[in-house]
Structure 1
Amino acid sequence: MKVQQEIRKGAAIIFITKYSGILLGLVVNSVLARLLSPAEFGIVGVVTVFITFFNILSDIGLGAAIIQNQDFNNKDFSDIFKISVLLSVVLAGAFALLSYGIASFYNDKVYIPISQLLAIQVFFSALAIVPKNMLIKAQAFKTIGLIDVGSAFFTGSLAIVLAYQHFSFYSIVWRSIAYSLLVFLLYFANSGLKIQSGISFSGIRGVAKYSSYQFAFNFINYFSRNLDNILIGKYIGNAGLGLYNQAYQLMMYPIANLTHVITPVIHPILAKYQNNKTVIFQEYIKIVKLLAILGLPISAFIYFASPEIIHIFLGEKWLEVVPILRILSLSIWIQMILSSSGSIYQAAGRTDLLFISGLISGSIMILSILVGVMYFKSLEQTAMLLVVSFYINFAVGYYILIKIVLGQHMIELYALLVRQMPAVIVLVLAYLAEGNLTRHWVTGPYMLIISLGIKLCMMGLVMAAFNFPLIEPYVKKLSHLKSKS
């Protein structure tokens, strides 16, 4: 079908650029983790939480609205960009002033110069929203990928050089500023955005309802996703936040870098079928199947390979991350599937129900974080309660999406997940057996790398064995090429 061909083509391009970014990100983070302390990471982590909030304010739902609306012309894009310039100036100034509030809340004046510098990032990140979403709307995924990877390489190298020169956490700060500036310039140059004279609000008024619900969802999602960082930094400390952030970031690698190979493609392609909910459901259930096939084994792999991952990528001083990462890994598969659902709400034109779903799930997550941090005062308990909240939110969110938005039956989703369970059980048993056989000799750095490689191979073999129909066409093609040679 044409829809699947478009999705595969876009996903293939994003896959290549995204995984180049993963490899690059792992290398940069691994080097910085050996040059900087958990407390130094935690200091920047505190400010990053607030930057994320300002990024939401700068979008106000316009990014998704640009993609969804099929009637925007060059004048509309120009008008929206001009409004984003004004908004960028206001937000950057507000963030610079907020630096005093952040310093007061955490009782540390170090946050004043850091936040005032990062106001520059807030400015350029806000400016990039319109040109970036114009590129997404045009399905220019290769251009976006090349810009992101190239910018990450340049700014990651900059951060490493600065860290070696003892710039401490400022190496991360300047990396963020340089990245936001570079991607804005490159997005703008490649978007085809042409600034026209005059300004009109007609384009924004046309998508006000759609974008307002999207903004409200993003607003709620921000607090549910970042309240843990805000409270951990305040009540457990910067070192605790540094540990938690590393565990969360490692957990997010497969979620962001596998799911986001597909999700950027879903909205612009399925938005064309916003009046045909059956087509959207049929195409989406194929995507959910793929995410389940990938996500469930990856969850098991991260759980059992956590010690090797931390040793290899972060070093021995980060070993306290292991139990937190193991707990969070139990939610990887469910978050991979959940993170794709927003694109379907958007494509179906039901950001109002996306907001309601987000309100429910956000409330559950916020309650979990408050209990974990304020009552238990434990990183592990907070992580465990978050995992529980993800499972509850999965059931609620997909009932609203499939039953109410798309008007389909839930049984197809749950049957799909049940069919993946035998592969997961076999993989878990294989990892337990491997652990018993190798626990006495996996000690040195080279043996840790070998152990990680073995676990990766086991995951690949089990996935291939239980999902052979997916790879059979490629096996036949390879055999045919060999026979011809």
Structure 2
Amino acid sequence: MTSNSPYFDAPVDGLKAKVTKGAVWTSVLHVASKAGELVFVAILARLLAPTEFGVVAAALVFIAFAKLFVEIGVGATIVQLPDLTRYDVRTAGALVLLSAILFFAATQLAAPAAAALFGIAEVEGVLRLLAFVFLLQAVGVIPENLLIRRLKAPRVMIVETAARLIGYGGIGSLCAWLGLSYWSLAIGALAEVALKAITLALMVRPPLMPMLHGPSVRRVLSTGAAFSVSRILNYGRSEQAAAGPVCKGFAWARAAFAGARRARGGRRRH
């Protein structure tokens, strides 16, 4: 196989059966993941105060929106690009890595402003820690979408579900039990992303040496730009229904922190 020969092409035999089976398994695993998530949220709710959830929730809003841009449409491009080559894969990996480094640095710089925007000083430290999500996510983008290209989405869902249960659920709950406050949620989120990315990378073992091959850069970016715009628009529509409750939650968290600070100030004056 040459360096620029077709790589990891999607299968054509039994395509309909594989798609149907994959859709069923993906749905089942999605339900199982959400059920497990509800259990762990209930556990964490007993270990943490609502204001502690508010700190991490505020930071995660920023991270979730920024994550839409980190992939720069590379994931969908890997899945749908005809005649995907090893040069394309290595170039896509390099582009995602560069994007992740850029957003990591930008988040470190923007953390104080984000904390001021939400009115919660504690958001700054949490946001700086959660910025590592971008770097960890970059490790898993290529292998995840190569598996989807091979119609093996159920494997991705299995890894994702296990990572959520072990990372966010197990490690996050343990940290909360140990008294790490809102940091436990941030650590759990990082553990989830790390477990998923590393596991997928070990499963697929894609070409790891990044490169910026001119024709591949143009192919990947020209195809990925449209996917990025589509993701952002879909994100806006999907989050619109939840915007009200989320904003109320942030307002409540801000009020709770302000009340606590006033109470501490009153005790010091007396």
Could you tell me the TM-score, scaled by structure 1's length?
Answer: 0.46
Aligned residue number for residue 144 of structure 1: 156
The C-alpha deviation readout for 1:436-466, integer Å capped at 9, x for no partner, is xxxxxxxxxxxxxxxxxxxxxxxxxxxxxxx
1:23 aligns with 2:35: yes
Q: How does 1:56-455 map to 2 (within 5 A)?
A: 56-155=68-167, 156-196=169-209, 198-225=211-238, 228=243, 232=247, 236-238=251-253
Structure 1 residue 39, shift from structure 2 partner: 2.4
Q: Which residue identity is paired with 2:251?
A: I
Q: In 2, are the aligned partners of 1:106 and 1:234 still within 8 Å (CA)?
A: no
Q: Which residue identity is paired with 2:185?
A: I
Question: Which 10-residue stretch deviates more, 88-97 or 224-233?
Answer: 224-233
Structure 1 residue 28, shift from structure 2 partner: 0.8
Q: In 2, are the aligned partners of 1:88 and 1:123 still within 8 Å (CA)?
A: yes
Identity %: 20
Q: Which residue identity is paired with 1:62?
A: V
Q: Which residue identity is paired with 2:26?
A: I
User: Structure 1 residues 193, 17: closer, same or farther in 2, change over 3 A?
Assistant: same
Task: Provide the rounded CA distance (Å) in 1 between the counterparts of 2:29 and 2:17.
Answer: 19
Aligned residue number for residue 34 of structure 1: 46
Task: Provide the rounded CA distance (Å) in 2 between the counterparts of 1:221 and 1:16.
Answer: 23
Structure 1 residue 114, shift from structure 2 partner: 0.5
User: Structure 1 residues 138, 234: closer, same or farther in 2, change over 3 A?
Assistant: same
User: Structure 1 residues 220, 230: closer, same or farther in 2, change over 3 A?
Assistant: farther
Task: Provide the rounded CA distance (Å) in 2 between the counterparts of 1:11 and 1:220.
Answer: 24
Task: Provide the rounded CA distance (Å) in 2 between the counterparts of 1:133 and 1:121.
Answer: 18
Q: CA RMSD in A?
A: 2.7
Q: In 2, are the aligned partners of 1:49 and 1:230 still within 8 Å (CA)?
A: no
User: Structure 1 residues 231, 19: closer, same or farther in 2, change over 3 A?
Assistant: closer
Task: Provide the rounded CA distance (Å) in 2 between the counterparts of 1:210 and 1:76.
Answer: 12
User: Structure 1 residues 113, 226: closer, same or farther in 2, change over 3 A?
Assistant: farther
Task: Provide the rounded CA distance (Å) in 2 between the counterparts of 1:180 and 1:34.
Answer: 24
Unaligned runs of 5+ in 1: 242-485
Q: In 2, are the aligned partners of 1:67 and 1:134 still within 8 Å (CA)?
A: yes
Relative contact order, CA 8 A, sep 6+: which one is greater? 2
The C-alpha deviation readout for 1:255-283, integer Å capped at 9, x for no partner, is xxxxxxxxxxxxxxxxxxxxxxxxxxxxx
1:9 aligns with 2:21: yes
Structure 1 residue 230, shift from structure 2 partner: 10
User: Structure 1 residues 215, 26: closer, same or farther in 2, change over 3 A?
Assistant: same
Task: Provide the rounded CA distance (Å) in 1 between the counterparts of 2:67 and 2:160.
Answer: 17
Q: In 2, are the aligned partners of 1:52 and 1:222 still within 8 Å (CA)?
A: no
User: Structure 1 residues 240, 144: closer, same or farther in 2, change over 3 A?
Assistant: farther
User: Structure 1 residues 7, 86: closer, same or farther in 2, change over 3 A?
Assistant: same
Could you tell me the TM-score, scaled by structure 2's length?
Answer: 0.79
Q: Which residue identity is paired with 1:63?
A: G
SS in 2 for 1:32: helix
The C-alpha deviation readout for 1:380-418, integer Å capped at 9, x for no partner, is xxxxxxxxxxxxxxxxxxxxxxxxxxxxxxxxxxxxxxx
Structure 1 residue 19, shift from structure 2 partner: 3.5
Structure 1 residue 32, shift from structure 2 partner: 1.0
Structure 1 residue 218, shift from structure 2 partner: 2.2
Structure 1 residue 173, shift from structure 2 partner: 0.5
SS in 2 for 1:237: helix
Task: Provide the rounded CA distance (Å) in 1 between the counterparts of 2:42 and 2:175.
Answer: 15
User: Structure 1 residues 6, 236: closer, same or farther in 2, change over 3 A?
Assistant: same
Greater radius of gyration (CA): 1
Structure 1 residue 229, shift from structure 2 partner: 6.8
The C-alpha deviation readout for 1:272-307, integer Å capped at 9, x for no partner, is xxxxxxxxxxxxxxxxxxxxxxxxxxxxxxxxxxxx
User: Structure 1 residues 196, 162: closer, same or farther in 2, change over 3 A?
Assistant: closer
Task: Provide the rounded CA distance (Å) in 2 between the counterparts of 1:235 and 1:182.
Answer: 29
Q: Which residue identity is paired with 2:176?
A: A
